[in-house]
Amino acid sequence: MEQFPNISLESGASREEVIEAARVAGEVLARDAAARDREWRHPFEEVNWLKGTGLFNVRVPARFGGLGFGYGTWAQVLKHLAVGDPNVAMIPIGHVGVAEVVNIVGSEEQKAKIFGQMRDGVYFGNAITEIGTKTKNDMLTKVSQKGNGYVVDGRKFYTTGSVHADRIGVVGLNEEGLPLMAFVDADAEGVTIIDDWRGMGQRTTASGTMKFDNVQVDAFDVVAMYEIEEGRTILPPSAQLPHSAIDLGIALAALRDGKEFICSQARPWVEAEVDAAADDWYILRHFGQMSAAAHAADLMLSRAGDALDVAEEQLTDELLVKASIHIAESLALSIEVALDASVRIFQLCGTKSTLEQEGLDRHMRNARTHTLHNPVDYKYWNIGKYYLKDEWPPSKTNR
């Protein structure tokens, strides 16, 4: 099999074709995932290949040349990519987030431009979150009007996929303190990308610093994000669903690699009185429990994606709330499954599985790092209020 198989999804592709392409892509990403993690090596070739597959354009509307699928399909694509390498699976999340913003508040002309670029393989990085502020929703970056255009000044962190970016969606505040998103070229004057992400997990997501110093932006390349803030919208839940898919992917990858280790290298406990680790009742019992939990999380992810697709079609508050709760349930379960499977697998594999060259430790580090996006207790809190007290979650919740 060639290094990168020929995958070229175009508008009109079926959902089955898209998901199968993602599954194949996940297998390709899995080949060197452990080595990339160990060597802190960015997946440049892999991302360049993925740009051309069309998988990053699942949420780009078909009328602009994208695949035009719903959130349920997008979640399945991310899951398969994450089973291969959750670092790579993180990279298109910001790109699709830009597409979501443009789809909600962009003009028809802006949609034609941005979506056309995405269709042609342009990758949009994101520069949204900052560090050193009171909460992760606070920011100091400014997008200020200057003449007929705008100027961007500020510093961002957690800019996932930054080193792969062709263009960047930067969020900053205007003179009235309202959020705007500006689209700048990654090589524009005043843009500095610093590869300084050194997290213990998700090592090659390129989630470090971006600096913007007097970056000039055409007015056509700015959209009013503050318009999304009016009422309950689909953006907050749509931003949460991908994390559930990635957490589940990490769990499934840990089970995949754990199975291989158990069947090829692990030894049974002496008391089991069997010849192979795969025949040890203790190992079978624990592996069975983890597998059942992962499969339950997979079903929850599908339910959440389907609920969000229904909400997108009708956009009623009731359907948005229902989708948000289903996503919270999916995310809470995926978080717990990822943390459990990535740690408990060592109990079944034995001491040798902790050696660096085996690569099993990356699942634990990835799970612990990625699941910090969302405190699981806040998920259960909102779920409990919904089912016990009939209270809706906050419309702008980012928990």
Closest to 247 in 3D by CA, of 334, 173, 305: 334
Residues 79, 19: Cα–Cα separation, whole Å: 10
What's the pLDDT at 2? 59
Residues 71, 327: Cα–Cα separation, whole Å: 11
Residues 367, 274: Cα–Cα separation, whole Å: 32
Residues 142, 171: Cα–Cα separation, whole Å: 8
What's the pLDDT at 229? 66
Q: Right CATH number for 15-100+111-121 from 3.40.50.300, 1.20.120.140, 3.20.20.140, 1.10.540.10?
A: 1.10.540.10
In the chain, CATH 1.10.540.10 covers 15-100+111-121
What's the pLDDT at 232? 87
- Angstrom distances, CA of residue 303 to CA of 241, 299, 325, 386: 11, 6, 11, 17
Element (H, E) at 170: strand 167-173
- Angstrom distances, CA of residue 352 to CA of 340, 358, 362: 19, 8, 15
Cα-only R_g, the chain:
21
What's the pLDDT at 1? 40
What's the pLDDT at 397? 54
In the chain, CATH 2.40.110.10 covers 126-228
Question: Residue with structure tokens 């339910």?
Answer: 303
Per-residue pLDDT of the chain (399 residues; tens, 9 = 90+): 458 999 999 989 999 999 999 999 999 999 999 999 999 999 999 999 999 999 999 999 999 999 999 999 999 999 999 999 999 999 999 999 999 999 999 999 999 999 999 999 999 999 999 998 888 778 999 999 999 999 999 999 999 999 999 999 999 999 999 999 999 999 999 999 999 999 999 999 999 999 999 999 999 999 999 988 667 899 999 999 999 999 999 999 999 999 999 999 999 999 999 999 999 999 999 999 999 999 999 999 999 999 999 999 999 999 999 999 999 999 999 999 999 999 999 999 999 999 999 999 999 999 999 999 989 999 999 999 999 999 999 886 544
Fold of 126-228: Butyryl-CoA Dehydrogenase, subunit A; domain 2 (2.40.110)
In the chain, CATH 1.20.140.10 covers 231-389
Class of domain 231-389: mainly alpha
